[in-house]
Amino acid sequence: MILRYFLNSRLLPIISLLLIGCSRIELKPIYKFNNILSQSNESLREPNLGKRWLAALVNNKGKERIELIDLRSRRIVFLPGINRSDAQPISVSVSANGEIIAFIRQREDKTELLVYRRNLGTIRRIEITPKGIPRRVSLDGSGKLLAVQVSRKGRWDVDLIRL
Amino acid sequence: MKILNKNINYLIFLISLVFLTSCGSRVERLSSPLLTLSKQEPALSGSGQFLALIVDQNGRPTVQLRNLRSGKILPLRSLSRNQPHSSPSLSWNGRYLAVITQRFNRRQAIIKDRLTGRTFQLPIPGERVPIRLSLASDASQLAMQFSHKGKWKIEIFDISKNIEPDLPSGMRVSTPVQELNR
């Protein structure tokens, strides 16, 4: 009888929360950043956060581009050559110092993994061997190690690539 | 003079060729146990020592943590339920793991502190559903992607009040890394 009361009561989620030792933490919105992010009428997805940098994919009227925001100065960083009108970015990741950006884009029926160096303004294509289609990328803090989700022979795999 | 110019151009070409061939990338593939069919959503720690990913465990997408230096899969006992898991993210030394889980038909964001074993639930304002997470390398902030009025939106939250920083070794406050390799 007592057991049935507890199972039917609204206390169940709280009791189970206590049993699994899960506590809540305060999520404090950072309005000075969120105001910048919500100013435009654009859609933002795939956030990748460094201490000072936020890389994301921004969609404006169906056209997507990679954007890097300097959270300290609250400005969008100019990335010459990274976005192309004939390419669609899929995934993006930034190194701790914001200098290296790894990204995946689709262009002319090809899906490519690329590394952009801000100080040089260069883009380098990274070969995937054995061949596969990259889907998602993660860069470590130094920008020297990449983890890439790759579709290969009908299954998802993860490759580690040292640059 | 023309011959000298030609030789210099040839030399530059050779040096460029050597440079281009020497900076090739080395690819390693993660070895997988027989029962693991699929590996998705890789997320490296800032130090590059740890990798979180979503693996298919008996048809249930489950977060897994690997120490890339030792090659070992590390235990995440409190994260063996509430699947499907998605969008894992790690702090610098891999102390904190943020991930989206499912509980009572509701998607929720949590952070696991591997040093203390505590799990924190993140109360999301409003009725919004988290889609993707990204933890700052020092774990002071969290970026969250939501669906809002038919659009994707990203918001950044300060979580430093409840979370100790996870800084690279050598900084004033840093995580005892040896504790995280167990």
**How close B18 comes to chain A (CA, Å)?**
16
Dist. CA A60–CA A152, nearest whole Å? 31
Give ipTM to 2 decimals.
0.86
For A76-97, the pLDDT digits (tens) are 999 999 999 999 999 999 999 9
A140 within some domain: yes
A21 within some domain: no
Dist. CA A92–CA A115, nearest whole Å? 10
Dist. CA A44–CA A59, nearest whole Å? 6
For B120-132, the pLDDT digits (tens) are 999 887 778 999 9
Structurally, at CATH architecture level, domain B39-180 sits in: 6 Propeller (2.120)
Query: Considering only CB atoms, which chain A residues are within 8 Å of B139?
Result: none
Counted across chains A and B, CB pairs separated by less than 8 A come out at 179
Cis preceding linkage at A29, omega within 30: no
A4 within some domain: no
Q: Which domain holds residue A79?
A: 27-162
CB contact under 8 A, B29 and A158: yes
**Residue A103 identity (one-letter amino acid):** F
A154-163, B129-138, B146-155: least confidently modelled range: B146-155
Whichever domain contains A58, its CATH number is 2.120.10.30
Q: Average pLDDT, stretch B102-118?
A: 92
pLDDT at A63 over 50: yes
Dist. CA B64–CA B43, nearest whole Å? 10
Which of B142, B154, B158, B163 to substitute to test the interface with A, most A CBs within 10 Å? Answer: B154
Q: Where are the domains of chain B?
A: 39-180
User: A159 forms bridges with which residues in the sheet?
Assistant: A148, B29
Question: For chain A, what is the domain count?
Answer: 1
